[in-house]
Amino acid sequence: MIELAFVSGRFGWAIYALSGVQHVLAPDGNSRPARADEFGAFALERGEFEEVREVQLDALKDLLGKRIEEQNALFLFIAPE
């Protein structure tokens, strides 16, 4: 169980901690250790991230995919023809 995660469709990734190690979840469903610059983006763009509490990794993957789809749909809606 992941206690706290932050999801961004705009950035296309989620940040979470598991067993004391911070990870980034990519759109392809793979996780890797987070880099310092990713935390910098999070700090600067805090409003772009949705806070999610007590979530399983599979549910976090599904939520990230949904937020990316929503962001893409919004982009297509507002993009000029």
Q: Domain-by-domain residue ranges, the chain?
A: 2-78
Amino acid letter for position 2: I
pLDDT of 40: 74
Contact 11, 67 (CB under 8 A): no
pLDDT of 48: 82
pLDDT of 8: 92
Q: Is 21 exposed, middle or buried (0-12, 13-18, 19+ CB in 10 A)?
A: exposed
List of residues 6+ apart from 14 with CB closer than 8 A: 5, 6, 7, 8, 24, 25, 52, 60, 63, 64
pLDDT of 61: 96
3 state SS of 79: coil
Consecutive sets of 10 residues in the chain, 81 residues long: mean pLDDT of each?
93 90 93 85 77 96 94 70 63
